[in-house]
Structure 1
Amino acid sequence: MVEPGEIHALLGENGAGKSTLMNVLYGLLQPDEGEIVVNGEPKRFRSPGDAIDAGIGMVHQHFMLVPVFTVTENIMLGAERTRGGLLNRGSARERVLAVSRQYGLPVDPDATIEDLPVGVQQRVEIIKALVRNVDLLILDEPTAVLTPQETEELLAVMRTLKADGKSIVFITHKLKEVKAIADRITVVRRGRTVGTATPDASEDSLAAQMVGRAVKLRVDKEAAQPGDPILSVAGLTVLDERGQVAVDGIDLEVRAGEVLGIAGVQGNGQTELIEAIMGLRPIQGGEITLHEGRSGTGRPAGGRRGRGPASQSLVGRRTSEILHAGVGYIPEDRSVDGLVMEFSVAENLVLDRYDEPRYASGIALSPNAINEAAKARITEFDVRTPSHLAPVSTLSGGNQQKVIVAREMSSPLKLLIAAQPTRGVDVGSTEFIHARVVRERDQGTGVLLVSSELDEVVALADRIAVMYRGKVLATLPADAPREQIGLLMAGITDGAAPETSGSEAGPETSGSEAGREEDES
């Protein structure tokens, strides 16, 4: 039950049934039994139009926007107003501006969707629901793709909506956000309601209800035993899509048996740095070198998918060659760079190694070997899927992420690059992925971690490099004060005492000298 003017959180693991339940409420799916009651009247919604007519709107985790249309055109879709037989764009534009001002959702009504950052696209989705005068707004995993700053902005918008009498169902698995915003909490596990709670409940108790067991919200790890360098980045310069400098002469070094975390507000060159290392983006200058390396225990670092020289330049290499040189890659955007949505779970688990002898003979694949390997990985990594033959598009976002993690961590590695490894993943899966990252480190693999979640960087990293406007301002030890890290993330170097050993940039690289102003959040 959701009360008027209430923010009701629906909390659960990936695949627990949260989105399915809300898709029934929004008319996208039909229930097998039970009933929906709105304002005391039983309802049956056969389409989203029926739900909207009843005052229910929904913002989906994967936005339902047409990229080449403007904001106004997207908001008009399905509710077009005409004047003299023509679309009345002027009226729609004024309505967008009015709702934008009323609820503190600034957006340019004439901007094209594909040119907008993710956080602004989400505002468009919310405005699209509000212009239809809904009383209940369903937000499905709304913070899964947002930066911390965008998340805070969204929570402020939710408070404004609540103050205006709107009701909100907030679907999430992020405990801190639930405690910060919810009036009541319903916990769902494997399709069933397992309990209700109030925001003053502890994170540990909420996590236990979600997963059905006690969950460690802190990362257990021993001190690192770093060895020789595995990855060296020297003087790297990379441009973004607009031709502006995104990575500005960066020096980095990742050692065998350590996690180097990259901290920074998203949009400060982290994406371009990782894509350049993986051969997905050309570089303007500098060098990227993958070394053989030895861990702190004296063993060769990790393992290798293929044979190659002890040290090799990755500049100009194809992504497939880099992967076969012993690099694992968890991409920032799983749906674009990590998975082929139309392929099965089994096929996605061998995307970057289908040509290995164990999976193929000449040009012919070995389906039995691929399927048996998939079943083993599904079990080992607890991927919730009806079958290894199911299209990966049918899985929840968190289980799609676990498919990628299973693929990349199932072979010996020299270097693991993990970009936003737990984005959109619940607490149980986050615990599992963190443990696997630490396990890779302890086996001698060098790990380069990029995350917009500072908590994740601090929990996993043995050293922390802070990026701001395309530069590394400093590299800090893992126990550096969070206040110091936060100041550096904002480009403030005064009073900082960064570590300057190795090849990393020191404090003299100030934010005021950066080569560009990033307009993405």
Structure 2
Amino acid sequence: MSSTVVQPTAPASAVAMNRICKRFGALRANDEVSLHVARGSIHGIVGENGAGKSTLMSILYGFYQADSGEIEVEGQPARIRNAHDAIALGIGMVHQHFMLVETFSALDNVLLGAEPSWRLGPTRQRVRRELEALMRDTGLQLKLDAIVETLPVGERRRLEILKALYRGARILILDEPTAVLTPAETETLFATLRQLRERGSTVLLITHKLKEIVALCDRVTVMRAGRVVLDTRTADTTIDGLAEAMVGRRVQLGRREGAAARAGAAPLLSAQNLSWRDEQGVLRLNEVSLALRPGEIVGIAGVSGNGQSELLDVLAGLATPASGSLQLGDQRFEPQRWLTPARARRLRLAHVPEDRHRRGLVLPFGAWESAVLGYHRLARYARRGFARRGAMRDDTAQMMADYDVRPRAPGLRSAKFSGGNQQKLVLAREALHQPQVLLVGQPTRGVDIGAIEFIHGRLRAMRDAGGAVLVVSSELDEILALSDRVIVMNAGRIAGELPIEACSESALGCLMAGVQST
């Protein structure tokens, strides 16, 4: 009797996208892209800004229509003309930027757009019961009656996932889900995603954080210039291998030593005993003192919400402290006559804000307009009350060339650039006028690995030219790679300060948690 060898079967596909092409004018965003995602898996999709990964996922969710190619969902041909078609097929998408009504409750955000009838009272009660059962099943716990604007960012992300699952999503697309999360919130999210995988859900994860890909995903697809250049099990690759596939060359993100800070040099900026309360009277900054000297990068580490953002606002002149003082060059400022952003620019202090959309750019403006914000009254850009648009466009074109902003189109709306290119444009604007002090919030949030390398290089160049750079980042790897010394904040106070030689993730983690390391 002959025996029959049974070949192991490949796992069934939740999603199969075959030979997808998509053009925007002359730009070929997706060029014969094929993607196969196994059911009940977590599949990572990575690539530089503009590689085509978000376009591909937007086609899967119905935001765009492919010019050619085929899509299958759970083994069946699918025509996805809009988001309603995607939702009907069991596809949900959680976007990088929150898509929530901040003045509504968590419950009403889930209900919004899915109201089965005009009788909201009984409907709300039924939805509450269903959500409570869903939260028990998935571990996505949150307060349904809480107003969204009062929720921490981790709970807002949880709410968006819950909203997609409530609408029947079996296939979940997550676009940069950890971009605004703390390490603890990220771990909580990962535990939830693993639990969803165990329940049979499929997750497609778009992220720039390669550590997350290796830690979480079963398989990863790398895109570059609109094509798939690598598709492999994560167990068969490394972070360095993924980075090289993304960029097409080896990427250096480790620490690079620069010239030592000028010994004995007077600080370029010195703050003493800064305290600040929010509108509710909560003390957010509590007697904070620091100094920035020529030729150094100082990193501010801490779990989000411990005063780092408020410190940047006070130092940049966007908020006035209740007490304390600031010395900037030969100018001294006290609460009765505090620094303003316009005065800061004249004193050669520049600021790259944490939220580039709300504070760094005007998204409907052309890039050439965003590239001169705050500097538009300089003589180069204005004459007798009239804007010199030619000079503005010329400088923007030069910034784009110097900072590799893609596409190099000064007239393109600011909203049309990818996150990494928006960040490079803001940094180019603030660096153009050669500041002595640069304050940078979250320099590489939502930015691809090639742009991270570029931005880090520019910050080091400012330091090496004799400037002082203050960096606030939620990424400990970034703090350790850039800083010459690190200040840790906890509960609005400085919990400790360490030279970079004494820094480790464990030592900084203890200070961030408010405990002394041993």
- TM-score of the alignment, normalized to the shorter chain, above 0.5: yes
2:481 counterpart residue number: 459
Q: Percent identity?
A: 44
2:50 counterpart residue number: 15
Task: Please show how residues 250-289 of structure 1 align to structure 2 within 5 Å.
Answer: 250-289=288-327
Work out whether 1:229 is the aligned partner of 2:251: no
Residue 173 (structure 1) shift:
1.4
Question: What are the superposed Cα offsets for residues 413-467 of structure 1, whole Å, 9 maximum, x if unpaired?
Answer: 1100011111111111111111111100011111111111111111111111111
Question: What are the ranges of 5 or more consecutive residues in structure 1 without an aligned counterpart?
Answer: 292-309, 496-521
2:418 counterpart residue number: 396
Residue 311 (structure 1) shift:
3.1
Contact 1:332 1:419 in 2 (8 A): yes
Kindly provide the amino acid, as one letter, of the partner of residue 147 in structure 1: T
Counterpart-to-counterpart distance in 1, 2:427 and 2:251: 20
Counterpart-to-counterpart distance in 1, 2:395 and 2:228: 34
Residue 86 (structure 1) shift:
5.8
Residue 87 (structure 1) shift:
5.9
Question: What are the superposed Cα offsets for residues 469-507 of structure 1, whole Å, 9 maximum, x if unpaired?
Answer: 111122111111412222111111264xxxxxxxxxxxx
- 1:219 aligned counterpart, secondary structure: coil
Work out whether 1:215 is the aligned partner of 2:251: yes
1:299 counterpart residue number: none
Contact 2:401 2:408 in 1 (8 A): no
4+ residue runs over 6 A deviation: none
Kindly provide the amino acid, as one letter, of the partner of residue 377 in structure 2: D
Counterpart-to-counterpart distance in 1, 2:155 and 2:407: 32
Kindly provide the amino acid, as one letter, of the partner of residue 206 in structure 1: L
Question: What are the superposed Cα offsets for residues 237-293 of structure 1, whole Å, 9 maximum, x if unpaired?
Answer: 0112421111101111111111111111111111111111112122110001112xx
| Cα RMSD after superposing both structures | 1.5
Question: What are the superposed Cα offsets for residues 100-135 of structure 1, whole Å, 9 maximum, x if unpaired?
Answer: 221111111111112212211111110011012211
Contact 1:17 1:191 in 2 (8 A): yes
1:155 counterpart residue number: 190
In the alignment, which of 315, 321, 332 is matched to residue 312 of structure 1?
A: 332
Contact 1:10 1:188 in 2 (8 A): yes
Contact 1:465 1:476 in 2 (8 A): yes
Question: What are the superposed Cα offsets for residues 62-110 of structure 1, whole Å, 9 maximum, x if unpaired?
Answer: 1221111111111112221338586611111122222122111111111
1:297 counterpart residue number: none
Kindly provide the amino acid, as one letter, of the partner of residue 78 in structure 2: K
In the alignment, which of 469, 482, 491 is matched to residue 491 of structure 2?
A: 469
Counterpart-to-counterpart distance in 1, 2:387 and 2:345: 19
Higher relative contact order (CA 8 A, sep 6+): 1
Kindly provide the amino acid, as one letter, of the partner of residue 76 in structure 1: L
Q: Which is further off, 221-230 or 55-64?
A: 221-230
2:514 counterpart residue number: 491
Counterpart-to-counterpart distance in 2, 1:131 and 1:397: 29
Question: What are the ranges of 5 or more consecutive residues in structure 2 without an aligned counterpart?
Answer: 1-35
In the alignment, which of 80, 104, 114 is matched to residue 115 of structure 2?
A: 80
In the alignment, which of 352, 371, 375 is matched to residue 374 of structure 2?
A: 352
2:449 counterpart residue number: 427
Counterpart-to-counterpart distance in 1, 2:167 and 2:425: 38
Contact 1:277 1:314 in 2 (8 A): no
1:243 counterpart residue number: 281
Contact 1:278 1:322 in 2 (8 A): yes
Kindly provide the amino acid, as one letter, of the partner of residue 251 in structure 1: S
1:301 counterpart residue number: none
Residue 337 (structure 1) shift:
1.1
Kindly provide the amino acid, as one letter, of the partner of residue 395 in structure 1: F
Kindly provide the amino acid, as one letter, of the partner of residue 256 in structure 2: D
In the alignment, which of 192, 197, 203 is matched to residue 168 of structure 1?
A: 203
Work out whether 1:130 is the aligned partner of 2:165: yes
- 2:104 aligned counterpart, secondary structure: coil
Work out whether 1:409 is the aligned partner of 2:438: no
Counterpart-to-counterpart distance in 2, 1:223 and 1:486: 27
Task: Please show how residues 365-380 of structure 1 align to structure 2 within 5 Å.
Answer: 365-380=387-402
Contact 1:314 1:322 in 2 (8 A): no
1:54 counterpart residue number: 89
- 1:465 aligned counterpart, secondary structure: strand
Normalising by structure 1, we get a TM-score of 0.89
Counterpart-to-counterpart distance in 1, 2:119 and 2:460: 65
2:239 counterpart residue number: 203
Counterpart-to-counterpart distance in 1, 2:259 and 2:304: 28
Counterpart-to-counterpart distance in 2, 1:23 and 1:328: 36
Work out whether 1:117 is the aligned partner of 2:152: yes
Residue 138 (structure 1) shift:
0.3
Residue 317 (structure 1) shift:
2.5
Kindly provide the amino acid, as one letter, of the partner of residue 47 in structure 1: N
- 2:234 aligned counterpart, secondary structure: coil
Residue 225 (structure 1) shift:
2.7
Work out whether 1:290 is the aligned partner of 2:328: yes
Q: Which is further off, 50-59 or 188-197?
A: 188-197
Counterpart-to-counterpart distance in 2, 1:85 and 1:96: 16
Counterpart-to-counterpart distance in 2, 1:414 and 1:279: 16
Distance 1:137 1:339, change over 3 A: same
2:64 counterpart residue number: 29
Contact 1:204 1:217 in 2 (8 A): no
Residue 381 (structure 1) shift:
0.8
Residue 54 (structure 1) shift:
0.6
When the two structures are aligned, how many residues end up with a matched partner?
Answer: 477
Question: What are the superposed Cα offsets for residues 159-207 of structure 1, whole Å, 9 maximum, x if unpaired?
Answer: 0110000001000111100000011110011211111122231211111
1:510 counterpart residue number: none
Work out whether 1:64 is the aligned partner of 2:99: yes
